[in-house]
Amino acid sequence: MGTNTISKPLPVDRDHALFLFREMLRIRRFEEKAAEMYSLQKIHGFLHLYIGEEATGVGAMQAFTQDDAIVATYREHGHALARGMQASALMAEMYGKATGCSHGHGGSMHFFDASRRFYGGYAIVGGGLPIAVGLALADKMQDRKRVTACFFGDGAVAEGEFHESMNLAALWKLPVAFLCENNLYAMGTALTRHQSQIDISLKARSYGMDSTSVDGMDVLAVEAAAKQAAAYVRSGNGPFLLELRTYRFRAHSMSDPDLYRTKEEIEEWKKRDPITLFKARLREWGLLTDSDVAQIESEITAEMEGAVKFAESSPVEPVEDLLKDVCARVKP
């Protein structure tokens, strides 16, 4: 596509395009900052980075309203940011601070935000799916036109909970949008080495559930497909499974030496970096200038540095409060 096609209507308006670009870049820079802080031993435990998968979370999140519910995985930093959670609250959570989005109880894998109906990061693979089914059941039983968006990875489709959830959601026609971020690896085990049927969208159909697959490196394609899926679910047709074909550029977690895939494979996928691709398209369409990029970059840098400062300067929860939230009521 060259400048001679500029007279055709663009698939996206400038404000929205810049918003999507900025959201993806925020996630990228947040994750880079998290990795840096992990290396400096400011952040501990597991850290699973979303780098390479930004188009799936950002694109898909555009399909859901603030009334809808989000259920995510342990690789949920991108979902949380795209849902509108503050980078500072997420960074503080990873620092284990009281100002963190889970008061330092959850860490990187367990972000929660009741005010945004963000029902959390689940770190037992597949464990969030039954929760999503139940949230959707509550909506259906209370006649609410809400959708529950449930993110999970390709690894989850090997779990019994995936199959139980597919079946029950389809059987009861529950409003769940199942969003499978297929990054081709269940930790270090390639999809082809853990699945007899590697077309994940086909699995939904065996439960009588409609499904489709989309290029997860193309944010506009993801957004369009997710909006279709959400509209389908919202209008009472039951659940839908959308497979987002993506790739993570970094290792599974910070402690993964990444021995199970080749450098060539990673480099090949990096040519399809969702941010680079989108930036190039926006330039081509005349929607993004070098100075726009510089300005966005500098704003995001300031945001992430602010998040680190906030986390650094935040207080920790007092140890006296250790047991406070185990139950709502303590034994009298």
Partner 1 sequence: MTKMTYREAVRAALRKALRADPRVFLMGEDVGRYGGAFAVSHGLLDEFGPDRIRDTPLSESVFVGAGIGAALGGMRPIVEIMTVNFSMLAMDQILNNAATLRHMSGGQFGVPLVVRVATGGGRQMAAQHSHSLEVWYAHIPGIKVLTPATVSDAYGMLLAALQEPDPVFIFEHATLYPLEGEIDETAGLVDLNRAAVRRAGRDVTLITFGGTLGTTLQAAERLAEEAIDAEVIDLRSLRPLDTSTIVDSVAKTHRAVIVDESWRTGSFAAEVSAQIMELAFDNLDAPVARVCSAEVPMPYAKHLEAATMPQVEGIVNAARSLVPHHG
* Helix, coil or strand: residue 118: strand
Shortest spacing between CB 86 and partner 1, in angstroms: 14
Nearer to partner 1, 163 or 272 (CB): 163
Nearer to partner 1, 207 or 260 (CB): 207
d(CA 312, CA 323): 24
Shortest spacing between CB 286 and partner 1, in angstroms: 44
Nearer to partner 1, 82 or 168 (CB): 168
Residues found near partner 1 in the complex (CB under 8 A): 69, 100-106, 110, 112-114, 119-120, 122, 124, 127, 129-139, 141-142, 148, 160-161, 164-165, 167-168, 171, 324-329, 331-332
Shortest spacing between CB 54 and partner 1, in angstroms: 25
Shortest spacing between CB 135 and partner 1, in angstroms: 4
Nearer to partner 1, 52 or 96 (CB): 96
The HSE-up count of residue 220 (CA atoms within 13 Å, CB side) is 13
Shortest spacing between CB 85 and partner 1, in angstroms: 12
Residue 232 is given by DSSP the state H
Nearer to partner 1, 119 or 278 (CB): 119
Contacts (Cβ under 8 Å, ≥6 apart) of 220: 11, 12, 20, 59, 278
Torsion angle in degrees (nearest 10) through CA of 37, 41, 44, 49: 30
Shortest spacing between CB 107 and partner 1, in angstroms: 9
Shortest spacing between CB 173 and partner 1, in angstroms: 12
Nearer to partner 1, 37 or 125 (CB): 125
d(CA 215, CA 212): 11
Shortest spacing between CB 326 and partner 1, in angstroms: 5
Contacts (Cβ under 8 Å, ≥6 apart) of 244: 56, 59, 60, 179, 180, 181, 182, 213, 214, 216, 222
Shortest spacing between CB 39 and partner 1, in angstroms: 26
Nearer to partner 1, 74 or 269 (CB): 74
Cα distances (angstroms) measured from residue 101 to each of 18, 96, 112, 115, 190: 27, 10, 6, 11, 33
Which residue is it, tokens 């007279």?
Answer: 7
Which residue is it, tokens 């259920």?
Answer: 71
Tokens of 192: 């082809």
- Distance from chain centroid for Cα 17: 19
b (16+ CB within 10 A) / e for 164-194: ebbebbbeebbbbbbbbbbbbbbeeeebeee
Nearer to partner 1, 119 or 232 (CB): 119
Residue type, 246: T
Nearer to partner 1, 120 or 153 (CB): 120
